[in-house]
C-alpha cells in the first residue's frame, strides 16, 4: 500500500468545498454576509449550531466551512470564510411580487439579531420566467438607474441597481429564459459572490482615503530632510538621522497596518473579475453591463488602494536610501577625523622619538660622566698602591672608551626593543 499524505482527501475535496445546489424558477433567495474574522470563529459556529437546533438539523462539523440543509418551507446555506460568514436562505415557490413576502421573514428575528459580526451585505435575489416591460422592471427598483445584461449565452436576463432600498437590502432580478436547474444555482451563486466580494474589496478604500494625507505629509517631510541634507551649510547629522529614523518607523507602521487589507482587496477584486467573466454578459440596448459598471465605479477605488500601497513602498525605499546616504556621509566624516587623528598621533610619535633621542644622548653623557668618575677613583687607588700610573692621564684616556661602550650598549638595547615590538 502507498503511504498517503495526511491532507490528500481534504485537498482532493477542496474543489467541491462550496457546491451551490440547483434552483428552479420561480425562486427567491436572501443573502446576508457578516464581517467576522477568525477571532469570532467559535461564536459564529455556536450561533449557527443554535439555528440547527431550532430546526432539528445536524450541525456542521468543527472543520466544515460549507453547509446546506432543507428546513420547513426553505433551505439554508452557511459559508464560513476567513474574514466573513455568508448565510443564504432559498425558497422555491410562486410569487406575485419579487421583493415582497421575502424568505428572510421566515427566519427567527431574535436569531438574526444575535448574529456575530457586522452586517456587510444584504441582498434579495428573485428569479422567475415572467415577461416584464422596462417600466415594470424600473418600478421594482424604485426607478433607480439600472444595470443589466443577458448572461450565460442568453439563457437569462439579469437586472440590478447596486443600491440599498428601504429595507436596507440590495436587489437582483433574474428572468429565466431557459436555465438548467444547476445552471440557475451557479448563476445565483456568482451574483451573490459578486456582491460579497465587491463589498469585501471596498473595505480597503476608506483606509486608503484616510492614509492619503498621512502619506503626503511623510512625503513632504522626507523631501524637506533630503533638501536639508543637500545643503552645504548642513551640519546637524545626528538630528537629521533622528528625523529619518522617526520617518522610517512611521512609514513601516503605516505599511504594516495597511498591507494586509490592500492585499486582501486585490485578491477579492480578482475573484470578482473572474465571476464577471463567468457570467458571459451580452449587452442589452440602453443598459450598462455589470462589468462596465464595476470598471467605472469599483476599479478607480481599487486603483486608489493600489496607488497608496505603491506610494508607501516607494516612500519606504526613499527613506532607506536617504538613511544610507546620511550614514555614508557620517562614516566618511568619521574616517576623515580618524585620518587627521592618526596624522596628529604620528607627528606626536615623531616628536617623542626626537625627544627620546635627545634624552638618550644626555643619558649617555651622564652615564659616561659617572662611569669615568668611578674609574678615576680606581686609578687613584692603584697609584696609591705604588703602581706607576698617572691617574689623570688614565682617566682622560678612559673617557672615549667608556663613551663608546655605553653608546653601543644603548643602541643594542634599542634594537632589541624594536625587535620585540615587531
CA dist 406 and 418 (Å) reads: 19
Segment 341-367, tens digit of pLDDT: 888 888 887 787 677 666 666 677 777
Residues 6+ apart with CB under 8 A from 295: none
Q: Which three cell numbers stand for residue 217?
A: 505629509
Segment 47-71, tens digit of pLDDT: 999 999 999 999 998 888 899 999 9
- Whether the CB-CB separation of 304 and 232 falls below 8 Å is answered with no
SS3 170: strand
DSSP letters, 30-46, are EEEEEE--GGGHHHHHH
- Angle between helix 181-202 and 204-230 (nearest 10): 40
- Whether the CB-CB separation of 24 and 190 falls below 8 Å is answered with no
Using a 10 angstrom Cβ sphere, with 0-12 exposed, 13-18 middle and 19 or more buried, the burial of residue 370 is exposed
Nearest to 197 by CA among 297, 285, 126, 273: 273
CA terminus-to-terminus distance, the chain: 74
CA dist 184 and 318 (Å) reads: 53
Predicted pLDDT at 421: 62
DSSP symbol at 117:
S
Q: Which three cell numbers stand for residue 150?
A: 443577458
Radius of gyration of the chain (CA): 46
Residue 327 backbone class (left: φ over 0; alpha: ψ -120 to 50; beta: rest): alpha
Predicted pLDDT at 359: 66
Task: List the chain residues with pLDDT less than 50.
Answer: none
Predicted pLDDT at 51: 94
CA dist 182 and 152 (Å) reads: 13
Predicted pLDDT at 272: 95
Q: Would strands 75-80 and 84-91 be described as parallel, antiparallel, or unpaired?
A: antiparallel
DSSP symbol at 96:
S
Q: Is the peptide bond before 26 cis (omega within 30 degrees of 0)?
A: yes
Predicted pLDDT at 273: 95
Residues pairing with 34 in the sheet: 85, 119
DSSP letters, 275-342, are HHHHH--EE-TT-B-HHHHHHHHHHHHHHHHHHHHHHHHHHHHHHHHHHHHHHHHHHHHHHHHHHHHH
Dihedral sign for Cα atoms in the order 189, 52, 121, 139? positive
Predicted pLDDT at 235: 63
SS3 234: coil
Nearest to 121 by CA among 151, 148, 83: 83
Predicted model pTM: 0.76
Q: Where are the alpha helices (DSSP H) in 55-141?
A: 109-113, 134-140
- Whether the CB-CB separation of 65 and 158 falls below 8 Å is answered with no
CA dist 158 and 165 (Å) reads: 18
Segment 130-151, tens digit of pLDDT: 999 999 999 999 999 999 999 9
Rounded percentage of the chain residues whose pLDDT exceeds 90? 53
For residue 386, count other CB atoms closer than 10 A to its CB.
7
CA dist 127 and 25 (Å) reads: 6
Q: Which three cell numbers stand for residue 53?
A: 437546533
How far is residue 229 from each of residues 111, 235, 243, 248, measured CA to CA in Å? Answer: 63, 9, 12, 16
Amino acid at each position: 500500500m502507498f503511504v498517503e499524505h495526511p491532507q490528500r482527501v481534504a485537498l482532493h475535496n477542496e474543489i467541491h468545498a462550496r457546491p451551490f445546489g440547483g434552483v428552479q424558477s420561480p425562486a427567491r433567495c436572501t443573502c446576508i454576509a457578516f464581517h467576522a474574522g477568525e477571532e469570532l470563529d467559535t461564536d459564529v459556529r455556536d450561533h449557527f449550531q443554535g439555528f440547527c437546533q431550532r430546526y432539528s438539523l445536524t450541525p456542521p462539523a468543527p472543520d466544515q466551512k460549507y453547509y446546506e440543509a432543507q428546513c420547513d418551507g426553505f433551505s439554508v446555506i452557511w459559508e464560513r470564510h476567513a474574514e466573513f460568514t455568508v448565510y443564504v436562505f432559498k425558497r422555491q415557490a410562486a410569487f406575485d411580487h419579487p421583493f415582497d413576502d421575502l424568505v428572510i421573514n421566515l427566519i427567527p428575528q431574535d436569531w438574526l439579531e444575535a448574529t456575530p459580526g457586522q452586517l456587510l451585505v444584504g441582498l434579495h435575489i428573485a428569479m422567475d420566467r415572467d415577461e416584464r416591460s422596462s417600466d415594470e422592471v424600473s418600478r421594482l427598483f424604485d426607478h433607480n438607474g439600472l444595470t443589466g445584461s443577458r448572461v450565460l449565452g442568453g439563457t437569462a436576463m439579469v437586472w440590478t441597481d447596486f443600491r440599498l432600498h428601504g429595507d436596507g437590502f440590495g436587489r437582483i432580478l433574474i428572468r429565466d429564459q431557459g436555465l438548467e436547474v444547476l445552471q440557475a444555482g451557479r448563476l445565483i451563486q456568482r451574483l451573490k459572490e459578486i456582491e460579497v466580494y465587491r463589498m469585501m474589496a471596498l473595505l480597503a478604500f476608506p483606509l486608503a482615503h484616510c492614509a492619503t494625507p498621512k502619506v503626503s505629509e511623510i512625503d513632504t517631510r522626507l523631501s524637506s530632510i533630503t533638501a536639508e541634507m543637500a545643503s552645504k551649510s548642513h551640519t546637524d547629522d545626528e538630528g537629521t538621522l533622528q528625523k529619518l529614523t522617526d520617518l522610517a518607523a512611521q512609514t513601516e507602521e503605516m505599511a504594516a497596518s495597511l498591507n494586509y487589507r490592500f492585499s486582501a482587496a486585490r485578491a477579492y477584486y480578482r475573484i470578482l473579475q473572474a465571476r464577471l467573466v463567468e457570467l458571459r454578459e451580452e449587452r442589452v440596448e440602453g443598459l450598462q453591463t455589470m462589468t462596465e459598471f464595476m470598471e467605472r465605479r469599483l476599479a478607480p477605488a481599487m486603483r486608489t488602494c493600489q496607488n497608496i500601497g505603491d506610494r508607501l513602498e516607494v516612500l519606504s525605499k526613499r527613506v532607506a536610501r536617504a538613511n544610507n546616504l546620511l550614514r555614508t556621509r557620517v562614516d566618511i566624516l568619521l574616517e576623515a577625523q580618524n585620518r587627521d587623528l592618526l596624522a596628529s598621533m604620528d607627528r606626536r610619535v615623531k616628536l617623542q622619538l626626537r625627544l627620546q633621542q635627545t634624552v638618550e644622548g644626555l643619558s649617555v653623557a651622564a652615564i659616561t660622566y659617572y662611569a669615568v668618575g668611578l674609574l678615576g677613583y680606581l686609578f687613584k687607588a692603584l697609584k696609591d698602591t705604588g703602581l706607576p700610573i698617572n691617574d689623570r692621564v688614565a682617566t682622560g684616556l678612559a673617557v672615549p672608551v667608556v663613551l663608546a661602550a655605553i653608546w653601543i650598549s644603548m643602541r643594542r638595547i634599542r634594537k632589541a626593543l624594536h625587535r620585540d615590538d615587531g
